[in-house]
Structure 1
Amino acid sequence: MSSLFQHLRIHQVFGANTNVGKTIFTTSLVRASALRGKKVFYLKPVSTGPLDDADDHHVNRYTTKYSSLITAECLFRYDEPVSPHLAVKLRDVESTRQPPSDATFIDSVANRIRIYAKSGNAPAHMYLETAGGVHSPTLSGTSQADCYRPLFLPTVLVGDSQLGGISTTISSYESLLLRGYTVDAVVLFHDDYYRNWEYLKPYFAERGVFLATVDHPPGKLADPLQDFASTDQYYESITSVESEGIRSVVDHLDKCHHHRLQDLESMPRRALDSIWWPFVQHGLVQGDKDVNVIDSAYADFFSVTNKNALADRSSTQSVLSPQYDGSASWWTQTFGHAHPSLTMAAAKASGRYGHVMFPQAVHLPALKLAERLLNGPGKGWASRAFFSDNGSTGMEVAIKMALRAFTTRQQHNLNNEEKKELGILGLKGSYHGDTIGAMDACEEGIYTCEWHESKGFWFDPPTVGIKDGEVLINIPASLASFSHSKTVKAESIAWVYEVENRINTPLARAYAMYVTRALEALNQRGGPVLAALVIEPILMGAGGMLFVDPLFQRVLVDTVRGRRSGASHRWSGLPVIFDEVFVGLNRIGVESTGPLLGVYPDISVNAKVLTGGLIPLAVTLTSQSIFEAFLSDSKAEALLHGHSYTAHPIGCEVANETLSMLDKLALSDEWIAAQGSWVKENGDQSPVWSLWDPNFVGEVSKLPQVKEVMALGSVLSIKVEDKAAGYTSQSAQTLFQPLYEPKAPDGILSSAPGGAPFGIHYRTLGDVAYFMTSLNTSVSVIRSIEDRIWETLTST
């Protein structure tokens, strides 16, 4: 992951093209740094072509007088003077050897950087020279811009001074920006014929990027000794104290390094003085040490400040450490952070549209997304897609739709006052967002506020968990008298989710009797008129990672509809809303929960995974019968609800790319292998599966400090033993606190990018700790996280 040291200033040198003088400029930077008495490290990760022409040899040849200060190395060397991805194939043409993977390549570079950093704590400089242009392939064939991104090294871009160089320089700069690189300086030759520098200097000045030029090197001379003397004299002229060119670049790079360290050091205090965090009690924040400073993020890892290394000016440790994003950044990350495909999708829509008004209009990204969702999670029941900003507002829309549909059908039985007091039927522990309407659809609890007025009735649901290797359905006290048991032992996880096979069991009949009698009692007490059923199907997230018995939710839907449910074409009884903001789109291993429950909603909401964690967007899907409740000749009877950024093209384009990538991921070897590990004993394919290893889940459930554990899809939930259970409990936070410390699990190599020891950023819900991967997290990373969790639990 990112490497940043107090004493070692590192810059990566990219070229806008081949033959732009990248090695000339890098050699000049090396000499200028050595001239100041700095220890200098030069690294050429990949070199192709004859050894005499190798760039690291060139650096050594023209820095002889500073040889005691300079180390120049190459990691991967190939004889053929071709692109690295071809060179490795040509060398191994007669063998079955595979080229080094991107992970192996980056680990090698990162390890070399750590060796340089540990060689001393005197101020030093390092320059890493890439090969060819920004998008030239690495050994695996991956673009350099993507391959090197996990290291997140500040960059010097060598511009192109030749014909067409303005375009290649700007294009290279924009390619680096799109991948998050910080370009500290642009350098190029001062060519008086094409005069590219004359155009590029103000261009980059407007963007706050430093640009410097130097004269072209002399032409190659036939006599080797004369050529050496001529070239050496050139380097002397552009790096001397009297020269402004390269010396000014080195000064600027030093300032950039210093300012970056200053920012990282000051950010905690500045944040404490200016930011009001969500879900944080500021009275419990004890100071700068409690602020997690995220410098960058890539794949499944944050790059965060190592506060000890930052405070110790003599430290040879990296100021930055990898930290696994154990909550998928509030359940949004789908393919990890900074995925270039999603970034490009956002840039494409931004460049084509920006944002455009949506009422009675259409643009291709929104249309394609609506059609994709209607034929995906909405297949068989939904006919319309309504766009909004995020999960909470998507749920507000859903509730408004359901209440209108109900009042339209019941208009002769309801007066205006009764319409204003309509209630919601749901489950205890529900959470649908923090807007007032979404809060009103939940029982009063920890998330509500002064304006909240809970309107409705909420059942205490039976839940599923694994304890001591056994799958148990935990029956709440209010229901126990109907089921005659507080727990029901399940045959397996797969059996729990085979709802159709359980629908005629005694437990299903007990659930139906409990629901029916509770609703009858509510009606007799003169409770609120219930106008919609709102549930988080399968898994209730913010309420404590409650894995609800799917049979109960199926029975609940059937009961309120007054019939056995399949596809919902005309709603009956009460409109049914599925809040799939958290669980939808494969977060728990299925695209939609309808097929798992054997019942479809009248309205559903998708968000979070929808845009891969890159940008907010929500879509509320609805059946035709709900849509028709708003059809009229009167404008006042329309759905008068909208947001300034409704169906914004950037969000829609990113969502389309996300769904396309999900379709491919569903066919990947990784998913197929994970699904296979959860196959039932009789050999049939299980309807549910997880990226977490089933043996790990079972063994964790046997630990004495664990009350129960459960896993579906990318979600792992561990409930700890705690007499003071609930959201305000600190038991899970305390138990898993060691996970924050950067380290590799005992006896194995780190699986973080760059091979560095890593910490785990996780969140708790009182006595519940949950861990969540991206949907494409590698098997090696997941196994490493499991090892860290096991190590933490067994060492307490």
Structure 2
Amino acid sequence: MAPVGSMLWRTLRTYQVYGANTEVGKTVFTTILCKAARSLYEKEKISYLKPVSTGPEDEADERSVSPHTAAKGRVIPSDRRLLRLIHEHASQKAASGPGWLFIETAGGVHSPSPSGTTQADLYMPLRCPVVLVGDSKLGGISLTISAFESLRLRGYDVEMILMFPDRTHGNHQYLSKYFSDQHVGLPVLALNEPPPPQGRQPSAEAEFQVMSRYYQEASGGDVARNALTQLEEKHDARVTRLESMAAEAHRKIWYPFTQQRLLQPEHITTIDAARGDFFQTLVPQAQRNSAAAAAPVGGGVLLQPSFDGSASWWTQGLGHSNPSLTLAAAYAAGRYGHVMFAEAVHEPALALAESLLAGIRNPRLQRVFYSDNGSTGVEVALKMALRATRARYGWDARDPIIVIGLKGGYHGDTMGAMDCAEPGVFNEKVEWYDGKGVWFDYPTVKCVRGRWVVEAPEAMRNEDGVGSNQEFGSLSEVFDITEREQRREQERYENYVAKELKRHVDHGRRFGALLMEPVVIGAGGMLLVTGTQNWRPSGDEEDDAKTTWAGLPVIFDEVFTGVYRLGRFSAGSFLAADADVSVHAKLLTGGVVPLCATLASESVFRAFASDDKTDALLHGHSYTAHPVGCQVALESLRQLRALDEGGRWDWAKARKSNVHASDDGSTTLSTQSGIHKDSKYRPVVQDAPWSIWSAEFVELVSRQAGVAGVWALGSVLSIHMDAGGGGAGYKSTAAVRIRDSLRRGARDDRENTWNVHSRVLGNVLYIMGSQKSMQEDIREIEELVRERLKSLQ
């Protein structure tokens, strides 16, 4: 079943009617709007829909029963199925010509739906603008404001508040002023209440006549007509704005990582909203023209679901507009706003530090330093490690120190982090770039023609000649560090590293740290790196490997790969190694706000201890440890931990995976000190490598013409296209055709359109799910990718 899109058509004005409470007059106001529209727009279709009710059709809402209670004992449709039915109904109305559709909810804003999901959360993907019916009774001021804020927190556009005037409590007058002061332009309109029943037991006919006169008068009055006029204007303004945004952006915005001389407005994706794994994007004009030609009466829907295949630049893990993360941000903003952090503490910052140190299970790491993004977090890590090395070896502050890194590794766009990357496309034209490192090649892993191949780096191939690659039956075998070390497979790579290091040391170079992205090289080409990287420069053997560093401090840049991106809290666990400094961002806050945490060992921390203030780590940001970010990160970690411990990923682990688990479904990882342990040195058992992308899919893609190799781990899928004579790398255009083909979208069996919004890194197309991706969505994307790869042959 394809995902559900937002409901926006050019000629069908769709509004959802919410109530601040039960019995506030939702049905009365919706009836008035429908009747007024029928009079004012005589040639248009006027429709009414109530998707959820509490009883039989002839008794709807007459019983005091919540929808989820009324649904007991009945077949309950899934939330997605219910939304699909609503969308299909609206599509039929749009196809019949211009008109209005009013969708009435049941009860209050947070009244449960049949599945138990509150209606405020249930209807979010449809993104219908809202007419909120306020409460005119005692206590109604509070309920109306609370209902408005609940909707606002979930991204609803509340376009108008309707209510009955109340001369006893003055609710209408108060709310008119309140919303005028707090939310400029939000109208609060009042319509007279229906007349009370005519006697104790009025006849049905008499009651009908009374209500008919009421509806006739109310719908023909200025208030109802004014309300419709304003709603029509808002609808037209929304459509006009959406259709003009790309052109306006092309004139006014400077885009990142984009050669704008080559960019045309039609290549800019207009995103109206996002929910779960999907953006809601404006359907391209050419596609809309085609739909209009096929259905000239009503035209096509203006918005379509677009799977967020880059996880919004790798930040998204718990779904867009996650209500719990939004509420966490609002709570911290309401409690603190922003407060300075130097020599101060607040609960979110302390609790997050405790949660991170406990979750990473690295006995070395005992300190947390906060900054605002991954690049600055790496800068902090470099300052920490280089100072610790200089202090240990007594080097003069003026002596140049360089880092050891990996070819293709990239750690951000600030100057210090950029200098730790080898010369390349990202920095070759940056005026102040001055690479300060030595960068080693490494073995990479891909599924090629159905086999997992560890490809030796160029330097090792030059030494050993043909036949230096290795084949494995599964990704679990590749990352079985203990078994591979027992076979002494790592020695070839260690010898290569030792030889290169000696050559540089003999030339007088001094190294201050090893900086690397564990397991996956991200911006450098989405490369999966084999587990033979768990080498650590030899040094003070007596220090042991438990809590302090030997040789050089090791920095793991887990900005992209950490916090369950690859199925585990820490990507470093795949290497059976513990870092001395570890950098975490991206998924840390689930894509809501920027925040980075750099974790360090106590021995690195002590390198800055002194009676001289200038020896301190003189680094900080205005928004260091900002409470909003820390509170969101706490909630993000809580949800991710619950997903891990609650079995939500079992469908991916239990599928015939692209990795093979051991007999008990797990592997035990060894480190330099033996068994991988947590802070109390208890054995830690890690899941075998697993992926949301199925083994069958990975193997099939690996056999497609034009595909050089593919890998999948955790939520990440990386397809390496054959670059041909043009060469691989960031400048390659080999993956552009498949990216563009996926953006052209697909249709399900009901003609609903959706597509995949993805990015490429040269010849590499990568697609990322979230940690909450649904199996059915991943399966449909797999089918679309297979289809499009086949069509490009």
**1:22 and 2:1 correspond:** no
Deviation at 1:192, TM superposition (A): 1.4
Q: Report the residue type matching 1:44 in the other structure.
A: K
Shift of the 483–623 alpha-carbon distance from structure 1 to 2, 3 Å rule, reads: farther
Q: What residue is the counterpart of 1:42 in the other structure?
A: 48
Q: What residue is the counterpart of 1:790 in the other structure?
A: 786
Cα-to-partner distance string for 1:255-311 (whole Å, 9 max, x where unaligned): 00010011101111110111111111101112x211100000000100010132767
**1:622 and 2:600 correspond:** yes
Match of 2:259 among 278, 281, 284: 281
Shift of the 579–469 alpha-carbon distance from structure 1 to 2, 3 Å rule, reads: same
- Check the 8 A contact 1:378/1:621 in 2, yes or no: no
Name the SS for the 1:109 alignment partner.
helix
- Check the 8 A contact 1:477/1:486 in 2, yes or no: no
Measure the CA separation in 1 of the matches of 2:56 and 2:203: 20
Q: Report the residue type matching 1:447 in the other structure.
A: F
Matches within 5 A, 1:337-736: 337-411=320-394, 414-418=395-399, 421-448=400-427, 449-482=430-463, 485-526=467-508, 528-551=509-532, 553-555=533-535, 557=536, 559-561=537-539, 567-677=545-655, 678=657, 680=660, 683-685=663-665, 687-723=688-724, 724=726, 725-736=728-739
Measure the CA separation in 2 of the matches of 1:220 and 1:610: 58
Shift of the 108–566 alpha-carbon distance from structure 1 to 2, 3 Å rule, reads: farther
- Check the 8 A contact 1:299/1:335 in 2, yes or no: yes
Q: What residue is the counterpart of 1:106 in the other structure?
A: 83
Name the SS for the 2:241 alignment partner.
helix
Match of 2:180 among 201, 205, 208: 205
Q: Which moved further from structure 2: 763-772 or 590-599?
A: 590-599
Name the SS for the 2:665 alignment partner.
coil
Matches within 5 A, 1:33-432: 33-36=37-40, 37=42, 38-49=44-55, 51-54=57-60, 82-89=65-72, 92=73, 98-120=75-97, 123-206=98-181, 207=183, 208-221=185-198, 222-240=202-220, 243-286=221-264, 288-308=265-285, 316-411=299-394, 414-418=395-399, 421-432=400-411
Deviation at 1:672, TM superposition (A): 1.9
Shift of the 682–47 alpha-carbon distance from structure 1 to 2, 3 Å rule, reads: closer
Shift of the 498–197 alpha-carbon distance from structure 1 to 2, 3 Å rule, reads: same
Measure the CA separation in 2 of the matches of 1:617 and 1:378: 21
Measure the CA separation in 2 of the matches of 1:224 and 1:593: 70
- Check the 8 A contact 1:475/1:486 in 2, yes or no: yes
Q: Report the residue type matching 2:262 in the other structure.
A: L
Deviation at 1:239, TM superposition (A): 1.7
| Alignment gaps of 5+ in structure 2 | 667-687
Cα-to-partner distance string for 1:301-356 (whole Å, 9 max, x where unaligned): 00010132767696521111111101111111111100101111111111111111
Measure the CA separation in 2 of the matches of 1:563 and 1:118: 76
- Check the 8 A contact 1:41/1:127 in 2, yes or no: yes
Shift of the 235–717 alpha-carbon distance from structure 1 to 2, 3 Å rule, reads: same
Measure the CA separation in 1 of the matches of 2:524 and 2:488: 28
Task: Tell me the TM-score normalized by structure 2.
Answer: 0.91
Measure the CA separation in 1 of the matches of 2:317 and 2:526: 19
Measure the CA separation in 2 of the matches of 1:610 and 1:416: 35
Measure the CA separation in 1 of the matches of 2:660 and 2:267: 45
Deviation at 1:590, TM superposition (A): 1.3
Deviation at 1:53, TM superposition (A): 4.1
Cα-to-partner distance string for 1:567-592 (whole Å, 9 max, x where unaligned): 54221211110000011011011111
Measure the CA separation in 1 of the matches of 2:690 and 2:538: 30
Q: What residue is the counterpart of 2:681 in the other structure?
A: none
- Check the 8 A contact 2:17/2:105 in 1, yes or no: yes
Measure the CA separation in 1 of the matches of 2:92 and 2:786: 31
Q: What residue is the counterpart of 2:674 in the other structure?
A: none
Measure the CA separation in 1 of the matches of 2:530 and 2:363: 24
Measure the CA separation in 2 of the matches of 1:407 and 1:352: 42
Name the SS for the 2:34 alignment partner.
helix
Deviation at 1:204, TM superposition (A): 1.3
Q: Which moved further from structure 2: 734-743 or 715-724?
A: 734-743
Measure the CA separation in 2 of the matches of 1:711 and 1:520: 36
Deviation at 1:481, TM superposition (A): 4.5
Q: What residue is the counterpart of 1:778 in the other structure?
A: 774
Cα-to-partner distance string for 1:388-434 (whole Å, 9 max, x where unaligned): 101011000000101111111122xx33431xx21110100001000
Q: Report the residue type matching 1:699 in the other structure.
A: L
Shift of the 562–785 alpha-carbon distance from structure 1 to 2, 3 Å rule, reads: farther
Measure the CA separation in 2 of the matches of 1:368 and 1:620: 15
Shift of the 438–205 alpha-carbon distance from structure 1 to 2, 3 Å rule, reads: same
Q: What residue is the counterpart of 2:757 in the other structure?
A: 761
Task: Tell me the TM-score normalized by structure 1.
Answer: 0.91
Percent of aligned pairs with the same residue?
44
The root-mean-square deviation of aligned C-alpha atoms, in Å, is 1.9
Name the SS for the 2:588 alignment partner.
helix
Measure the CA separation in 1 of the matches of 2:55 and 2:440: 72
Name the SS for the 2:653 alignment partner.
helix
Shift of the 695–219 alpha-carbon distance from structure 1 to 2, 3 Å rule, reads: same
Name the SS for the 1:374 alignment partner.
helix
Measure the CA separation in 1 of the matches of 2:715 and 2:100: 42
Match of 2:14 among 4, 7, 10: 10
Aligned length: 747
Measure the CA separation in 2 of the matches of 1:650 and 1:126: 39
Name the SS for the 1:731 alignment partner.
coil
Q: Which moved further from structure 2: 767-776 or 566-575?
A: 566-575
Q: What residue is the counterpart of 1:73 in the other structure?
A: none
Q: Which moved further from structure 2: 180-189 or 402-411?
A: 402-411
- Check the 8 A contact 1:567/1:599 in 2, yes or no: no
Q: Report the residue type matching 2:50 in the other structure.
A: K
Cα-to-partner distance string for 1:201-245 (whole Å, 9 max, x where unaligned): 0111230311111111111221333322221111122221xx221
Cα-to-partner distance string for 1:681-702 (whole Å, 9 max, x where unaligned): 7635252111111111111111
- Check the 8 A contact 2:661/2:689 in 1, yes or no: no
Measure the CA separation in 2 of the matches of 1:283 and 1:491: 47
Q: Report the residue type matching 1:736 in the other structure.
A: R
Measure the CA separation in 2 of the matches of 1:766 and 1:258: 40
- Check the 8 A contact 1:463/1:549 in 2, yes or no: yes
- Check the 8 A contact 2:364/2:548 in 1, yes or no: no
Deviation at 1:495, TM superposition (A): 1.1
Measure the CA separation in 1 of the matches of 2:703 and 2:739: 17
- Check the 8 A contact 1:188/1:212 in 2, yes or no: yes
Shift of the 741–561 alpha-carbon distance from structure 1 to 2, 3 Å rule, reads: farther
- Check the 8 A contact 1:568/1:602 in 2, yes or no: no
